[in-house]
Amino acid sequence: MSTPNILMTRIDNRLIHGQVGVTWTNSLGANLVVVANDEVATDPVVQTLMDMVISDGVQTRYFTLQKMIEVIHKAADRQKIFIVCKTPKDVLTLVRGGVPIKFVNIGNMHFVEGKKQIHTTVSVDNRDISAFCELRDLGIRCEIRRVPNETGIDIFKLIK
């Protein structure tokens, strides 16, 4: 069983949108974007909308977290995979399930009641912080970076 070629894992509560579908995908050289999200995995309308903003020649898959855990090790070497999740807790679920994620890019975590804004596009609550801390303890780097040409910021410099 070979290790899947995961180029990057991104947390973005919007999942696939222009920045992800074109800018990041092209910058990474990804040819497969996998959305790991239980709701979107069963929503063909949302999937169709997301597919509309993906670069030509890039495939998409929409998996539940559990399905992602089950199929990731069957990925072909030629698949250059860009994983997109909604929350740090979802990424942690994948990691605990054996998905070999080494690095997490944090794009957007919108402000909602009960969250604290720590960066222009990132707001967290205690559950998010605890998931990030567990990811860090597992040796996974977590960096806020909206677009590829921006300098990344270690999230732990912003959450104490």
Active site residue: 17, 73, 110, 119, which one? 17
Q: Edge-to-edge, what's the strand order for the sheet holding 6-12?
A: 59-63, 32-36, 81-85, 6-12, 103-108, 141-144, 153-154
**Backbone angles phi and psi of 157, in degrees to 5:** -75, -20
In degrees, rounded to 5, the angle at the alpha carbon of residue 138 between the alpha carbons of residues 132 and 143 is: 45
Does the annotation mark 17 as catalytic? yes
Select from 35, 11, 13 the least CA-distant residue to 111: 13
Catalytic residues: 17
